Each structure stands twice: as structure tokens, then as C-alpha cells.
Chain A
Amino acid sequence: MKIKFWRKSLRTRLLGLFLLLAIIPLAVIGYLAYDLGRQRIVRDVENHLKSVAILKEQEIQTWVEHLEHTMLWLTSSPGVKNDLAVMSAQIPDQPAYETAHASLTDELSRVANLAHLSPIFLMDHINGEIVASSHAEWGGQFRGDRKYFQEGKDEVYVSGIFHSLRLGQPTMVVAAPIKDSEGRLLGVLAGHANLAPLNEIMQERSGLGETGETYLVNNANLMLTESRFEPEVALKKWVFTESVSRALAGESGVGVYDDYRGEVVIGAYRWLEERDMALLAEMDRSEAFGPIIMLRNTVLQAGFLVAVIVGFLSVFVARTFTNPLRQLVEGTEEIGGGNLDYRIEVEGEDEIDQLAQAFNAMVESLQEVTASRDELNTEIAERKRIEKALRASEEEFREIFNATSDALILLDEEGRIAQVNETASELYGYAREEMLTLDPRHLIHPDYHHVYQQFLADLEKKGEFSGETMDIRKSGDSFYTDVRGTTVRFQGQEYILAAIRDVTEQKEAELKLEETMRELERSNEELQRFAYVASHDLQEPLRMVTSYLQLLVRRYGDRLDGDAQEFIDYAVDGASRMKQLINDLLTYSRVDTRGVSLQPVDVEQVLDDVLENLQFRVEETEAGIIRHPLPIVPGDKSQLEQLFQNLIDNALKFRGNEAPRVEVGAEKGDGEWVFSVKDNGIGMDSRFKDRVFIIFQRLHTRDEYEGTGIGLAVSKRIVERHGGEIWYESEPGEGTTFYFTIPDEPETIS
């Protein structure tokens, strides 16, 4: 996609380039400016917070030192010392004690207000019992267990901030020892510091913005001063922030972290070693770094503005470059689309216009060369196709050559064997390499060398040849071959390809068949001659028998007794039947021998004649004849009459109980007519099939149906002579239909 985009349009690329050139430096400079600014701001904020923290620490220190100085000044006051010394020396209720006590109480009451240490009280040095105080009710307390008493015995001590039960508020105690001139401890002076100044210091937030604050945390993580955000947290809130942990570990520093509210703050933290507390100066990061965001927004806005301006300029500049280019592109597209008449407009004189002019010139010359180029292309395409086909056919040829079951021999132009396939090598019994060295004539029986010569001549004449030869194997055995040859072009040369098939078996079978046929023809002819001769010659003696029998009856009839008369009748009957047989046989044999050549015969006419002949039989049997239109076919008219007569006679003869009904018709078949003769007679069992067509074959006894049984045999012979076939369809008791075919066109009658 990316590549596509970049390649898509020059204008886009130009635009992108301009923008990149403008934006990258802008972004880099903007970022650098922002980053420098940010660092500067962060550093400023950090430094500011640090200095605030340091300032606060100093202020606290000053305040504490002031308290310490006040306390030291008080403890070194001669009046206080004297009074305390008197009190130590006396016991209560003594006037001196009471005077000293009153003086001391006055002094303490006076300084309590001045020194912001209120109440202020003096503890004896043994039990820490308060012997004098600015507040009377504080007298008599025992503070011996307090740290400020114990520490305060040695030197000035400032306690941490804690909640005083007695005062009911947070406080801090400053204590210092009072010693006499000899350095003996007389007591400890302690005062509750007013924390107001400290709170003022911590709550002075000038320069800390809306969210800045400073606060103190003790070593138990307890907040000591009030928060800007939550009420009454002093001594009531524990702070476990990272900065406090670090400060409590004695570190000082600055960082960004979550404060006790969960807000992200930037804060400076300091460990106040002498005070045993942590000081924090914090500001919400959102506020502290607000200028950074402003800076960032400014940089971004400025950058955006510049980018927009550059963008517009880029579009304008890119357009001045790309418009003529686009025209050029459109022109080339138009021309590329086939419109060679198109010309690009040329307006100016710059490089692009020159390019357009050159382009136009180029298109003109292109127009000229396009025609010849097209032809060339067509030819190249054609050649390529042929080459491809050739390559393919070569491949194919090789495969076929090797795989074919015929023996293949390839002869070169000089008539030498150039290649043979596996089948050839097997057929001739030579190894393939061996065969390549042979003269092809060597493979052919010398008796057939003339055929080989003939082949070469045919090849010359027709480009192909075929024929039969007798070839010789390596073993010397000879065999018949069927040879077909043709010229082939192969690898640019002309070859003769001969396919040889061993047809010895076929040839032998053929010769044998021919022999048998000849035998058969001869015997057939002999048989026909015999039949004709026999039947013709038999008629003469039979006629004599019949004539003499008739003479015998005529002359000696009255002298013959009944028996003799009967015997003679039998002999006459036998002779006449024999005569009939002979006549039939003669007819049968004559179908072929006496047949005339086939002429167009109107079968309607044939049927008319037949029915006329059979008129008596039809009437006698009260038969119904149904006729369908019949065609004209090539045939022997008298034989066709015979055929129809036989079939209709049969139909009338093998009648059932009903009156016979005979239907004659014909239908056009494929190159032949199919005739049918259908009856409603007794029918025949289909298992008899062809037996009915055998001569003298009878299905019924002579007593049942008269006849010699030759009719259907003759019919078959007639049909076959016409080149047709005859068959029947029948069921016993269901009638019979005889079908026969007569070809449309006369065929050679075998």
C-alpha cells in the first residue's frame, strides 16, 4: 500500500516532501525548544521548592534559636537564680520562701507573654516538681519523667511537637537548666512554646501557587502542622510518602511522587537533624508543570500553524509543477489507450513543455511504425505458437514412438535406419543398436524386395505407402507384415516412418478362409447342379411311373379288385407327392440359379397378383385381408410373388378357430423396408426360431397340415437373395408375424 501510495501521484509525493521538509525541522526544533523549556521549568520548580524548603528551615531555625536564647537569658537572669536559690534553701510556708516564690511567679508571668513561652514553669532539680509557674494551677505537678526535664538538666533542650493533655493542644517545650554561681543545678526552667509563629512560617505560601504547601512530619511519620487541604491533621495524620521516607532516612532532595492525598506532586524534602523532623515543600505537579503544558501547547500550536501554511504553499507549488505533468500524463494515457491521433497541448517553453513537444513528435513516429509493428507481432505470435506446437508434438511423438504397439522404424533421407522402437527390436529380434546398422532390405524377404521398391515409389508420389511384405527375423524365420509408411519432419529433417505389424497369423487365416470359400462355392455349385439335375432328371421316371399307373387303372381298372385299386391309389398319391417334392426342390434350387436381375418392383402389384392367385383359398377360409400401403423396391417380381404367396398361404393354413385375418404392411427402416405379414393363427413357439426356415422341416404332421415344408425355406432364400433378412415373432395361440427386409438399393447378390 505504502509503495502504491508513493507511486501513485507525483503531486502527493511533492506535497509530502514539502511537508516533510517543513515539519521535520519544525518538529525537531519544536521538540528541542519544548524539551529545553521543560527542563528549564522543571529545574526552576525544583530549585524554587528547594529554596522554599531551605528558607523555611532557616526560619524555623531562627524561631527555635530565638526560643533557646530567650530560655538561656531567663535561666541566666540573676533574679530568677536568686529566687530559686532562696526557695531551695527554705521550705514552703516560710516567709522567705513565699517571698521568693511570689517574686519568681511574677517574673515568670511577665516573661511568659513576652517570650511566647506560656505557660512557663520551674521544676525542682530532683523530682521535676513544678515549684513556680506563670500559671498557678500548674504548680505541684511532677514532670520528672518528661524528657525535657531530663535533658533540660544539662543544657537547653527543645522538644518535639506533641499534644499536651493539660493544654489540650499541640505544643513544644523549651527547657534549660538553672545553675548557681558554682554550677550546681538548682532547677529546670521550661516553657510551652506558642506554635503560632511556626504555623505562620509553614502556612506562608507566597510563591507556592494554588496548590503549594509546606509541612512538617516527625520521625513517627506523623504530620505536625496543618495541611492546606485537610482540616485538623496536625498530630492526627500519618504520612508514608516516598519523600517522607527519604527525609526520615536523613536525605534531602527533590522528586515527583504521590503525596498523602494521593495527588501527584513535585516536592522538596529536608531532614531537620536538630529538630528530628522532616520538612516538605510540595506543589501539585499539574500546577507546577502547568507552564510546561502551556509551552507544549504553544509549540504544538505554532507547529500546527506553520504546517498548515506550508501545506497550502506546497499544494500551490506542487500544482504549478504537476498540472502540465498531469496533462502530459493524461495525454500519454489517451495515447496509451490507442488514440494515436491525440496531441498534447503545449503552452510554454519550460522543460515540461519541451517534453510535451518531444512526446508529440514521438507519437507521430509511433503512429507510423505501429502498423508494421502489428504485423511483426502477429508473426512472432504465430511462430511462437508453432514452435510451441512443435515442441509439444515432438514430445508427443517421442512418447508415441516408444509406447506404440506397432514396430516403428525411422529411415533417414539416405534410407538408413535412424531409429527403431522397442516393439520393432522385439519383432525382428535384434537389439536396437544392432538394427541401426542394418540395411532395411536385410529385414525383407528377397521375394518382396519389389514391394519395397514400390513403397519408395509410392512415397515419392503420394507421400505415403502401405502394403504387405514378408520380413525376416534375425533367427531367419519369415513372417507376414502389414507396413504403412509416411514422411515425417523431425528435428528439421525429413524421415520415413514405417509402422510394421506382424500379420502372419491373420494372413494365414485369410489364406485358409479363401481356400475354404473356394471349396464351399465349388460344393455349393455342385450341390445346386445336383439338385437341379436330380429334380429335373427325377421328374422323367416319376412321370413314367405316374403315367403307367394311370394307364394301368384305365385299362385294367375293372379287373382289379378293391385292394389292388386301393394300392394303386396309394402309389399314384405317392408319385404325385414325390412330384410335388421334386417341384418344390426345383423351385428352391432355382431361386438363385433362375433368378433375374433385380428391377424396381411395385409390391402393391405383387400383392394384388398373389391375392388373385389365392382368391379361392381366401374365400374358402373367409379370411380378412388387411392391406397397408406398400413401396416399390428393387427385386425379382416373381420371387417376391412367391414370397408373399408362401407367407399368406401359411397364414391361412395355420388358422385357429376364428376366421383368419391377415395384415400386410411395410415400414421404412434404415436403408431398407421392413415388411410384415401378421396373422391370428395358431402361432409358433419361439424356440423353433430358425428351424422353420430349414428345408423340409415340419412342425406339424402331414395329417394336421398339408404341405411339404419347403415354403419358409424358399422364402428365406428369396429374402436373402434380395440382401435382406427374415424372422418372426410369435406366441403359441397368439398368431404370428413374419418380418422381412428388402434393401432400398440393390446389393451385389452373393
Chain B
Amino acid sequence: MSSQNQIFQRLSWVDWIWVLIGGLILSGCSGRANRVLEPVDVQLKWVHQAQFAGFYSGEKEGFYREENLDVTLRPGDTHLTPAEIINNLVSGETDFAIVGGDQLIAARFRGEPVVAIAVIFQNNPYVYVSLKGSGIQRPQNLVGKKVMVPPDAEVIHRALMEKLEVNLESIEHVPYERDTTPLMSEEIDAHLVYRTGLGLALEETGVDFNWMWVNDYGVHFYADTIVTREALIQENPELVRRFLQASIKGWRYAIENPAHAVDLTLQYDSDLTRDRQARMVEAQTPLIHTGEVKIGWMERDVWKSMQQMLIEQDVLAIEDIERKANQTAQNMASYIHRHPDMTLEELQDDPQVWDIAVQTVGETGYTVVADAATGRPYFHPHPDIVGEDPSQSREAFPSMWEIIDRTIGTTCQDASGFYEWSADGESREKYTQLVCVDAETADGKRLFVGASTFLADYDLKKTDVDSLFTMRFLSGFYEGSE
């Protein structure tokens, strides 16, 4: 600063004129450049609401235009799965996406080339809520209580309970409803809610609650994260930098001008209620920014602990195994539909069917196609097992057959679960996912697909924490502008 001052003092008025002229020329240039806006598509995580107020501010207050960007904000919906959001990003249909931090890690785990460039929601909005007088003041108190946990929050819930050394079995999990009634009517004792979703509805009741933030109990789990594909970072890092810069300015604007942020939100969906959105803004601000950490900032330790949680909970493994089973079942079904005249024997003679039916799972696992009525294997990587009477294996692997028995019978039902695999005097944990094939062979056989592998496979496949995110753009912004 002092050196800058000296420079300013050394400039004569003539120099100032040159500086002015230069400034005019530069501003003229940028004025011209402004006319050609670079189109950018952004996929939001959810429908339009104040959750994305910072992006609306970026667009409506001209921060994106300042960076020569023409940003299209695409709202999400219930039909758009996180996997699809990632697929669209990778394919180039969209350039950026706002997804949960866990969704990014899962995508990375699947090998998708996507990277986080900033985290908007530093603190996870999931919060346990209990009635004030219930005596449930901390998650440890949930033992023996009825709790509703949304599917999206299961990982966090499990991670927290693990951290608190609370046995999940000791909690009575009640199927989730997105409704305030169960808690208010004391049908349940606690509800894990999204602070800016159901949390606002609870707040509206005017009743006093205990709010138990997962973050206070050692589980730090990033929520809304800006991700992009690796290719875009390589091809056009400047675009990424500009988008991030404008987005952070947009978020700052939204925080500084909460009322106007609500106005802007209502421009995207006029059906929203102003009061609800205003309270959403108020409630989410400390989640985005507490004053300790800069907006968007990411910590390697947090990413690392998140990844750790996901792996430890086998979430990633289970997801992978499920995905393999579902894919194989779908492929089998469509092949049989295309060849309705083929009998099971004919299918078994067709090498193409083998290519579909037997897939590797994880490092050591595989898929098997078996009879939906009896469990007799028809397609198996070990030829001598094909067609074998299941009674033999039933004796050897009773825990596995507990799961298979849930599937086979007069009607086929999907099933999954962990089981012990003892071989060579060693017992290791395996996970299987059984999926029914929605088709019948010409000779009336019904089939199911089983995918299973050792969970240990996935420990080996731990992805590199550093590949999850890049600080390059955030650091550039904060060092450059401040």
C-alpha cells in the first residue's frame, strides 16, 4: 500500500491524463467485449428458492455480465437424480452444477471427472429437532427414541451415531415423512430435518425446539457445492474463474441485502411465499458463512473426513454394487425382450448373454444370474457351479442364503445385505444386491441377478482426496481481490 502511495505521488498531472486516457480506452474495450457474452449453463440442486439466492444475485445484479457470462440457471426437480446431474455435467450439457458434497464424492468414486471448486453451504443444514421439553438435548439422547431420518441424511445420521458411539439399532427409525405433524403430535421424539426446508415449517409452529446441529458433534459435512468437469478446467480455466468470482460476489450481495435477495428469488418463482423465503435466507446465512471462513472456502480435512465417512459406512461400496446389479438386470431383461423365442438353454448357449450376465464387481466380486424360483445359478464365472443344486451352497453360506431367500419364491423381490464369507479358514464381510430380471424366457423361466463382492475391495479404491476439489480458483479470487 505504501509503495502504491509513492507511485501515486510521483505521478504528475500529465501522467494522470495518460492514465485517464488509458482507462477510457480500456473501459471502451471492455464495453465492446461485454456485448459478446459467453453462455454458461448451471444446474441447480433443487427447485428455485432462496437456497440459490447468491446465484440469482449474480445474474440479476450483473455480476455475471461483468465477467462476460450469460448464465442460465436450470432448476432441479424430483425426477432429476444426482447421477443425471453429474452425467449432464460430464457430457457438457451443463457447465456447472450445485450438488451435495457427498454426491460429488460418490461421482468421483464412480470415476466421473468432476471437481468441486467451492462450497456454498459450509455447514450442513441437517439438524436434529426435538421438542424443548422432551429432554432430548443432544443426539446421544436418541437412544431408545423414535426418530425420522430422511434417506439423503442417512450417511450423516450413521456417521454421527458412529462418532457418538451410539448403536443404530438402539434407535427406533421411523419411516421418513416430510411433515411437521409426527413431531408436533409426539408421534416421534426427534426429526432429522433440513434446516431451510422442513425446519422452517417447524419454526412456523411457534413451538420451542432443541436444535442439535450435526456440526457440533464432530460431523462436518459440506452441503451445496459448486462442481464442474475436469475438461472445462483444462480447456477454459478463465471461464471457471470468472464464474466463481461472480458467484461469490453474488452470494456476498445476497447476504448483505437479504430483503433484496428474496425479491430476486421471487423473480424466479413467483409462487414462492415471501415470508418463507425471507426466513430461509435468514436461516441459511450462518450455514453459508459464520464469519470465520470465507465464502466458498474448502478445507482438505473436511473433504477427507467426508470421504472417510462414506467409505467407512460402505456407502460407496453399496452404491457401486447396487448399480452393477441394476445394470445387469436391465441388460438381461432387454436382451430377453428382444429374443422372446429363446429358451433358457438357448440363452446359455449364446455367448452374448454370458457377456451381459457375468460382470466384475469391485476388485474381486462378480455378478451371477440365477433362477428366481429356486436360486439355482444359470450364469456364473465358475463353470462347475452353473446349474449346481443350491442346497450345497445353502449349507456353506447360510447368511448369504438368508438374503437369497428374501428374493426367491413365487414372486421375485429385490433384496440386499451383508453376509459372512468364510473361505480358507478366514471369514470376511461381503455385500450382495439381488435384483429381479423383469422378463421371462421362452420356456417360462424367471431370473434374478446377484452382485456381490468383498467390502474390503472398496477400501483399496479410496479415491485421492485432492482430486475431489481444487482451491486454485478460490485462492486466486481471495488473493487477487483482497
Binding site for B on A (CB under 8 A): 127-128, 136-137, 139-145, 160-166, 168, 170, 218, 220-222, 224, 233, 235-238, 240, 245-246, 248-249, 251
A136 in contact with B137 (CB, 8 Å) = yes
Could you list 29 A-B pairs, sorted by A, with CB under 8 Å? Answer: A127-B218, A137-B137, A139-B137, A140-B138, A140-B164, A140-B217, A141-B138, A142-B216, A143-B216, A160-B291, A160-B292, A161-B291, A162-B291, A163-B286, A163-B290, A164-B286, A165-B123, A165-B216, A165-B290, A168-B286, A170-B291, A218-B291, A224-B291, A236-B255, A238-B256, A245-B1, A248-B482, A249-B1, A251-B2
Which residues of chain A come closer than 8 Å to B290, judged between CB atoms? Answer: 162-165, 235
A163 in contact with B220 (CB, 8 Å) = no
Which residues of chain A come closer than 8 Å to B291, judged between CB atoms? Answer: 160-163, 170, 218, 220, 222, 224, 235
What's the least CB distance linking A472 to chain B, in Å? 91
B220 in contact with A145 (CB, 8 Å) = yes
What's the least CB distance linking B347 to chain A, in Å? 55
* Residue B158 interfacial (CB < 8 Å): no
* Residue B462 interfacial (CB < 8 Å): no
A-B pairs, top 7 by smallest CB distance, nearest first, are A142-B218, A137-B137, A140-B138, A162-B291, A235-B291, A162-B292, A163-B290
Within the assembled complex, what's the spacing in Å between the Cα atoms of A168 and B282? 11
Q: Which of B281-333 contact A (CB under 8 A)?
A: 285-287, 289-292, 294, 301
Which residues of chain B come closer than 8 Å to A246, judged between CB atoms? Answer: 1
* Residue B210 interfacial (CB < 8 Å): yes
- For B137, B217, B291, B292, which residue has the most chain A Cβ atoms within 10 angstroms? B291
What's the least CB distance linking B413 to chain A, in Å? 40
A251 in contact with B1 (CB, 8 Å) = yes
* Dominant secondary structure at the A interface: loop
B138 in contact with A139 (CB, 8 Å) = yes
Which residues of chain B come closer than 8 Å to A249, judged between CB atoms? Answer: 1
Which residues of chain B come closer than 8 Å to A141, judged between CB atoms? Answer: 138, 216-217
Which residues of chain A come closer than 8 Å to B1, judged between CB atoms? Answer: 245-246, 249, 251
- B253 — nearest CB in chain A belongs to which residue? A238
B216 in contact with A137 (CB, 8 Å) = no
Binding site for A on B (CB under 8 A): 1-2, 123, 137-140, 163-164, 210-211, 213, 215-218, 220, 252, 255-256, 258, 285-287, 289-292, 294, 301, 482
What's the least CB distance linking A125 to chain B, in Å? 15
Within the assembled complex, what's the spacing in Å between the Cα atoms of A127 and B163? 10
What's the least CB distance linking B338 to chain A, in Å? 55
- B302 — nearest CB in chain A belongs to which residue? A145
Within the assembled complex, what's the spacing in Å between the Cα atoms of A444 and B290? 138
Give the A-B pair count, Cβ closer than 8 A: 76
Which residues of chain B come closer than 8 Å to A236, judged between CB atoms? Answer: 255-256, 258, 285
What's the least CB distance linking A207 to chain B, in Å? 28
Within the assembled complex, what's the spacing in Å between the Cα atoms of A308 and B215? 78
A137 in contact with B210 (CB, 8 Å) = yes
What's the least CB distance linking A346 to chain B, in Å? 62
Within the assembled complex, what's the spacing in Å between the Cα atoms of A245 and B292? 18
Which residues of chain A come closer than 8 Å to B286, judged between CB atoms? Answer: 163-165, 168
What's the least CB distance linking B166 to chain A, in Å? 10
What's the least CB distance linking A67 to chain B, in Å? 18
Within the assembled complex, what's the spacing in Å between the Cα atoms of A248 and B481? 13
B210 in contact with A140 (CB, 8 Å) = no
- A232 — nearest CB in chain B belongs to which residue? B258
Within the assembled complex, what's the spacing in Å between the Cα atoms of A233 and B217? 29
- B295 — nearest CB in chain A belongs to which residue? A220
Which residues of chain B come closer than 8 Å to A240, judged between CB atoms? Answer: 482
Within the assembled complex, what's the spacing in Å between the Cα atoms of A142 and B137? 14
What's the least CB distance linking A608 to chain B, in Å? 118
- For B137, B220, B258, which residue has the most chain A Cβ atoms within 10 angstroms? B137
Which residues of chain A come closer than 8 Å to B301, judged between CB atoms? Answer: 145
- A222 — nearest CB in chain B belongs to which residue? B291
What's the least CB distance linking B258 to chain A, in Å? 8
Within the complex, which residue of B163, B164, B216, B289 is in contact with A166, where a contact is CB–CB below 8 Å? Answer: B216
Which residues of chain A come closer than 8 Å to B140, judged between CB atoms? Answer: 140
Within the complex, which residue of B139, B164, B218, B285 is in contact with A145, where a contact is CB–CB below 8 Å? Answer: B218
Which residues of chain A come closer than 8 Å to B217, judged between CB atoms? Answer: 140-142
Within the assembled complex, what's the spacing in Å between the Cα atoms of A453 and B164? 164
Within the assembled complex, what's the spacing in Å between the Cα atoms of A170 and B217? 20
Within the assembled complex, what's the spacing in Å between the Cα atoms of A35 and B210? 65
Within the assembled complex, what's the spacing in Å between the Cα atoms of A248 and B285? 25
What's the least CB distance linking A249 to chain B, in Å? 5
Within the assembled complex, what's the spacing in Å between the Cα atoms of A140 and B138? 7
- A218 — nearest CB in chain B belongs to which residue? B291
- For A218, A224, A236, A251, which residue has the most chain B Cβ atoms within 10 angstroms? A236
What's the least CB distance linking B6 to chain A, in Å? 14
- For B285, B289, B292, B482, which residue has the most chain A Cβ atoms within 10 angstroms? B292
Within the assembled complex, what's the spacing in Å between the Cα atoms of A208 and B325? 73
- B256 — nearest CB in chain A belongs to which residue? A237
Which residues of chain B come closer than 8 Å to A144, judged between CB atoms? Answer: 218
Within the assembled complex, what's the spacing in Å between the Cα atoms of A218 and B294? 11
Within the assembled complex, what's the spacing in Å between the Cα atoms of A237 and B211? 26
- B294 — nearest CB in chain A belongs to which residue? A220
Within the assembled complex, what's the spacing in Å between the Cα atoms of A139 and B140? 10
- For A128, A142, A246, which residue has the most chain B Cβ atoms within 10 angstroms? A142
Within the assembled complex, what's the spacing in Å between the Cα atoms of A525 and B57? 141
What's the least CB distance linking B479 to chain A, in Å? 13
- A247 — nearest CB in chain B belongs to which residue? B1
What's the least CB distance linking B65 to chain A, in Å? 20
- A221 — nearest CB in chain B belongs to which residue? B482
Which residues of chain A come closer than 8 Å to B163, judged between CB atoms? Answer: 142
Which residues of chain B come closer than 8 Å to A163, judged between CB atoms? Answer: 285-286, 289-291
Within the assembled complex, what's the spacing in Å between the Cα atoms of A220 and B297? 12
Assuming A145-B220, A238-B256, what are 7 further A-B pairs, CB within 8 angstroms?
A128-B218, A141-B217, A142-B216, A165-B215, A221-B482, A233-B256, A240-B482
Which residues of chain A come closer than 8 Å to B252, judged between CB atoms? Answer: 238
B294 in contact with A166 (CB, 8 Å) = no
What's the least CB distance linking A734 to chain B, in Å? 99
Within the assembled complex, what's the spacing in Å between the Cα atoms of A220 and B286? 15
- B287 — nearest CB in chain A belongs to which residue? A165
- For A127, A137, A139, which residue has the most chain B Cβ atoms within 10 angstroms? A137
Within the assembled complex, what's the spacing in Å between the Cα atoms of A248 and B479? 13
Which residues of chain B come closer than 8 Å to A136, judged between CB atoms? Answer: 137
Which residues of chain B come closer than 8 Å to A233, judged between CB atoms? Answer: 256
Which residues of chain A come closer than 8 Å to B216, judged between CB atoms? Answer: 141-143, 165-166
